[in-house]
Amino acid sequence: MPAALRAWLRSFPLQRRVFLLTTVAVALAVAATGVAAYVTLRVSLYRALDDELIGVTSTLAVPVANDIRNLGGLTERALRAGDVSVAAVRADGTIFYVPDEQDHLVLGSHELAVAKVQRGASARNGVSTDGQQYRIVSVPMTQLGNYALVLGRPLAPTNATLASVGLTLVIFGGSGILLAAIAGATIARSSLRPVRALSAAVEHVTETDDLHPIAISATGDLALLADAFNRMLSSLRTSRERQRQLIADAGHELRTPLTSMRTNLELLSADASTGMLSQADRIEILADVNAQLAEFGSLVGDLVQLAREDAVAPSPEPIDFRTVITSALQRVRRRGPGISFDVELNPFWVVGEADNLERAVTNLLDNAVKWSPPGGTVRVQLEGGRLRVADQGPGIAEADLPYVFDRFFRAETARNTPGTGLGLSIVAQAVTRHGGWVRASRSAQGGAEFTIQLPGATTLEGLARLSPPEPARDLEPSLPA
């Protein structure tokens, strides 16, 4: 298809393009069928006429050969009764007609060639001396040699039949094209109705920012397209709700340290002009500001981590999960000098993001250290892809267990303890992104116990046989009952 025609078609709406293409295709098919039928009928009629004329020549050949000059005594009346015209031509170009015939066939080179060659036959459309169209057939007269017998029959009846058939084909073909156009328009309108509904839904979303799923009654590819569109809207709506919730929660959590910092800075500013604070008070206020800055920085870092919406891009290099846990233990031990760690790590390999997993494990260990009593023991066990971190603290109340992984959730007993309330949310997010799950419970010693399950293998060879984990669509923590 030429580029200009394609560009012209693209300028139309899809429904009109379907209508035009359907109509044109049907019109071409009807035209091709009509032309083929007309040509086939014309060839058949002419062939039948030629066969009939050749049969008549075989009957007339003997009497005409006996009296070539008078054409065997034929008369115009006899010829008119048979609706034929007869002539003979000699190889030197001499033509013999029926003596009393008023209207003669106009002979030419075809008939002369048959007389000279004395082989085959010729059939063509010709005219008579009065301009009437004839079908002219010539055959050699082998009885005399160098002569050809020529017969002609008027083409008016045959042409009338062909004209009638042609008109019928045009009428019925045109009616078929019209019906095809109507059917094409109807089919295009009904079949593209779901597409129009989907297009209207997209425009509605663009104009109103309404991300609720659309209802489209369709089947096949259109149903798949509508389903994919609805899933995209659902994902966008969920993402936007999380973003809105994160902003609201962040604004609430950031307000507290900022208010406290502003109060302390106002005291220091007032003290610069009045000198009302003692040196010990100023040192205490500055220490409080430093602590608030540290808390503020930690909160911002956690918010940035939670705001990441990208899925884990599995590293081409496998990760020894024991190495990740060991690195996290080294970091946490420095922050909990009085805490003992009972560690049992069995081989386990995963595919994922080492830094992300290490931060998740670090957050779990920090949480265990924070709630462990002085001299307490934190139990760390890795067995078959399942990591357990248990402490000897007060544990988690049954009513709080379903919410411990929510952002900014703080239990009643944790209201006055340091922290952002985001650590366990980061754990759940990291584990979910790696295709695993995490849950909280009470340990056998009465403290809190957190369990992480990740996909992987106990050997590097086993990991190579596993396909990379598919990142979860939903970034909310997936917690087993």
Task: Give residue limits of the domains in the chain.
Answer: 15-161, 221-307, 319-464
CA distances from residue 14 to 193, 250, 388, 391 in whole angstroms, order as listed: 11, 47, 59, 66
**Residue 127 or residue 298, greater confidence:** 127
- Give yes or no for a contact between 71 and 93, defined as CB atoms under 8 angstroms apart: no
- Give yes or no for a contact between 205 and 179, defined as CB atoms under 8 angstroms apart: no
- Give yes or no for a contact between 49 and 135, defined as CB atoms under 8 angstroms apart: yes
pLDDT digits (tens, 9 = 90+) for 132-185: 999 999 999 888 878 999 999 999 999 999 999 999 989 988 888 888 888 877
Residue 295's nearest CA partner among 346, 265, 349, 258 is 258
**Residue 400 pLDDT:** 80
Mean pLDDT of 384-393: 90
Q: Are strands 377-383 and 340-345 parallel, antiparallel or unpaired?
A: parallel
pLDDT digits (tens, 9 = 90+) for 209-246: 777 777 766 666 667 777 787 888 787 777 777 677 66
Mean pLDDT of 409-419: 54
Residue 229's nearest CA partner among 248, 207, 245, 206 is 206
Please check the confidence at residue 40 and state whether its pLDDT lies above 90: yes
> What are the structure tokens assigned to 340, written together?
């003992």
Q: How far apart are CA 240 and CA 258, in angstroms?
A: 26
Q: Are strands 386-390 and 448-453 parallel, antiparallel or unpaired?
A: antiparallel
**Residue 15 pLDDT:** 67
Q: Indicate the average pLDDT of the chain.
A: 80
**Residue 475 pLDDT:** 36
**Residue 203 pLDDT:** 77
**Residue 254 pLDDT class (50, 70, 90 cuts):** low
C-alpha dihedral, 454 to 456 to 459 to 460, nearest 10°? -130
What pTM did the predictor assign?
A: 0.46
pLDDT digits (tens, 9 = 90+) for 335-385: 778 889 999 999 999 988 888 888 889 889 988 988 888 889 999 999 988
Number of other residues whose CB lies within 10 A of the CB of residue 150: 26
**Residue 320 pLDDT class (50, 70, 90 cuts):** very high
Q: How far apart are CA 65 and CA 142, in angstroms?
A: 9
Return the CATH class of domain 221-307.
mainly alpha
pLDDT digits (tens, 9 = 90+) for 67-117: 888 888 888 888 877 788 999 999 999 999 988 888 889 999 999 999 998
Number of other residues whose CB lies within 10 A of the CB of residue 460: 11
Return the CATH class of domain 15-161.
alpha beta
Please check the confidence at residue 125 and state whether its pLDDT lies above 80: yes
Please check the confidence at residue 472 and state whether its pLDDT lies above 50: no
Mean pLDDT of 436-462: 89
Tell me the torsion sign for CA atoms 85, 87, 93, 99.
negative
Task: Please give the CATH number for the structural domain made up of 319-464.
Answer: 3.30.565.10
